[in-house]
Structure 1
Amino acid sequence: MRRGDTRWSVPTPARSRRAVRPFRKGAHRTVKEKIEIGRHLIAKKAALPWGHFGPWLRESGLSPHMAHQCMAMARGERQQAEREPDRSA
């Protein structure tokens, strides 16, 4: 990484708020929107240094539960679980 390359830098509070403004809680989201949010979160988590995603997520205003749900949907885990039959009976 070259000096001045901000791809891996920890976002400042103002940059974080701008980046997640569309993801504020209280808004109802379609499955397609949640998958898009999940993809963004997966990319953000990969770009941040270890240990910085949790604080960034708290600052964003998105609940950890919603973030986990969106990321799982983006990875296809939730859709696969919904397609599999219930074998608990």
Structure 2
Amino acid sequence: MSVPWVWRYHPYPDDYFRFSFRGVAALFPDFDWGTPYYSTNVEGEFIAITEENKGADNKLAQFGPAKNPASAPRKYLPYLMVNMLGVRR
């Protein structure tokens, strides 16, 4: 299963489908899930979502200048997908 995690807002048909790996596991409780991964828009880039790697999605953020020079730098998150492989019990 692959679902968007961090992605730009896309209103057509509407924007209802942002599930965390825990949300997917809650929706499908009859599955045994392997290690979930984030994937980015860089080919072959997969980051394990583990307890030791907590906050990996946030660590991938980059900062750029704000439109208003008096403001703090703007935070940009990469496009991420949550990828999970599960087996039905």
Q: Name the TM-score, length of structure 2 as normaliser.
A: 0.23
Q: Name the TM-score, length of structure 1 as normaliser.
A: 0.23
Structure holding more strand per residue: 2
Structure holding more helix per residue: 1
